[in-house]
Structure formats: C-alpha cells, structure tokens
Structure 1
Amino acid sequence: MYERILVATDGSPLSDKAVSHALSIAKMNQATLIALKVVPRYPRSYLEGGATVDPSEIKRIEAQWTEQAQAVLNKIKTDGKAIGVTVKTSVAKSDLIAESIISAAAKQNADLIVMASHGRKGLKRLLLGSETQHVLTHSEVPVLVLR
C-alpha cells in the first residue's frame, strides 16, 4: 500500500512514538522510510528575536543544530536497519516547519506523512499555532497523526 513514508521528527518523546509507528508501517509494507528533521535558522536581527551575534558564531550555532539533527536521524536509520527497513535521512533548514514537511513529502514522492501532535490546547495553541494542523490542512499526501 505504501512505498515511501515520510516521518517528521523533532527528537521529542512524542515524536519518537511517531517514528516507532512509522518504522512499523514501513516494515509491514516493505516501504522506504524518509526521516526528516527541520532545523530553524538562527534569528539574524534583534527584530527576529536574536541578540546581535557575530556571523561566524551564527554559522557555528547553525552547524551545531544541524549536527544534533543528524544524530537524531542517524538513530532512526540504525533502528530501521535493525528491523530491515531502509531509512533515508534529510535535514531541512527553515523556519517554515510545516511547509518544509509538505515540500519534502512532495519532493520524495511520499505516500504517507507520519508525525506527532503536540497536543497544545486553548490559548497556547492559538498563540503558538500547530505545525501538525498546518500539514493536515495543506498536504496533498495523507497524514497520520499520533498522540
């Protein structure tokens, strides 16, 4: 049924649950799993919420974030290999998380997107928004949301 499954992760425990389910679905369907972690860009100006920081320091911080993201993805790759699932990894650098997930799913020809819901409610959800909700409402690829 599914040949290419994209799982979006942020490395949180709830996200790990989504990864575990995605690995199981990929194994059942003999599908390839594409593990994606979106890394934000460091705020470049005071107006973006960042302090004035030397550009070389910004590059170092962003490189560190990318390295940490790759470590999360490498663990997924190792877990997939242990159960016989081919896992491809991708780090996207963007402040637009939902758009990056949708774009990666289209680019990778994914049949399914798997992601976690962080369960924000009330005012927190209104103020912070929901990347999951955005993916659900804008993706042309089916989305499985785990709580």
Structure 2
Amino acid sequence: MYQRILVTTDGSTLSKKAVTSAIQLAATCGAELVAMKVVPRYPQAYFEGSIPLSVAEVSRIEKQWTEAAQANLDTIQKAAKAKGVSMKSVTVKSDVVSDAIIATAKKQKADLIVMASHGRKGIKRLLLGSETQQVLTHSHIPVLVLR
C-alpha cells in the first residue's frame, strides 16, 4: 500500500495524535516513516522602534529552535522504534511551512503525507491561515488529514 509515509509535527497535542496514527499506519503497511519538523528562520525587522539583534544572537535562537525540533523528532523515533517502524527524521528551515512539507515529501519520495488540522473556520482561518489547506491544495502526493 504505502512504502514511505511523511508525517509532519509542530509538537502540539493534535500533532502528536497524527504522529501516533502515522506510526500505526506505517506498522500496518510495513512502510518507512519520515518525521519532519519545520523550523522558521528568525524574523529580521528593520523598522523604526524594533530591537535589532546581533548575528550571534539570531544564530543562538535558531540553534535553540533546531535543537528543540530534534528533541521532538527523537521522541517520535523512540515511539516508532517501539512499534518496529523504521524511521528517518528531517528538520527543515523555512518560512513557508506548506512549501517545505511538499518539497520534503518529494525529496524523500513519500507516497503519503500525514498531518493534523485544527479545523479552524471563518475569521480564525483567515487570520491564522492553514498550512494543511495549502498542502492539500498544492500537493500531488496523497494527504491524510487527522483531527
């Protein structure tokens, strides 16, 4: 059925449920799991009144985010190993989460993307956006959305 499943995580409770489901699906199909976390780049503001940070400070913050992402992926690795699922972890730096997910799915040759959706509607969806909706709209790879 599926050979390689990409699961995305942001560390939220809902995302953890999607990861658990992806691990179970991978175990059932005998598929390899690729877990990914997108880490944003530190926003640089050059507007009047902003507090400029040194390059060293920005690097420290980005390193901290990357280490937190790896810790999250290590936890997923342990859960996958406990279920007998082969897993690869990927951390991607990007400001556009949906594009990073689609590009990683292509690069890793995934045949399914598993991700969570908060199911926001109305003004909340307009203001907060929906990475899941963007992936659904632009991916040529099947997407399993869990809520």
**TM-score over 0.5 for the pair:** yes
Count of residue correspondences: 145
Shift of 1:51: 3.4
Show CA shifts across 1:84-109 (max 9, x none).
00110000000110000000000001
More displaced, 67-76 or 121-130?
A: 121-130
Corresponding position: 1:45 with 2:67: no
The separation in 1 between residues aligned to 2:22 and 2:46, in whole angstroms, is 39
Give the share of equivalent positions with the same residue, in percent. Answer: 61
Corresponding position: 1:7 with 2:44: no
Aligned residue number for residue 114 of structure 1: 114
Q: Which amino acid aligns with 2:53?
A: V
- TM score, norm. by length of structure 2: 0.96
Corresponding position: 1:60 with 2:55: no
More displaced, 38-47 or 110-119?
A: 38-47
Give the gaps of 5 or more residues in structure 1: none
Show CA shifts across 1:61-102 (max 9, x none).
000000000000000001011110011000000011000000
Q: Which amino acid aligns with 1:35?
A: A
Aligned residue number for residue 26 of structure 1: 26
Aligned residue number for residue 82 of structure 1: 82
Shift of 1:58: 0.3
CA RMSD of aligned residues (A): 1.0
Map 1:116-131 onto structure 2 (within 5 A): 116-131=116-131
Aligned to 1:88, the other structure's residue is in SS state strand
The separation in 1 between residues aligned to 2:46 and 2:126, in whole angstroms, is 24
The separation in 1 between residues aligned to 2:114 and 2:51, in whole angstroms, is 35
Q: Which amino acid aligns with 1:9?
A: T
- TM score, norm. by length of structure 1: 0.96
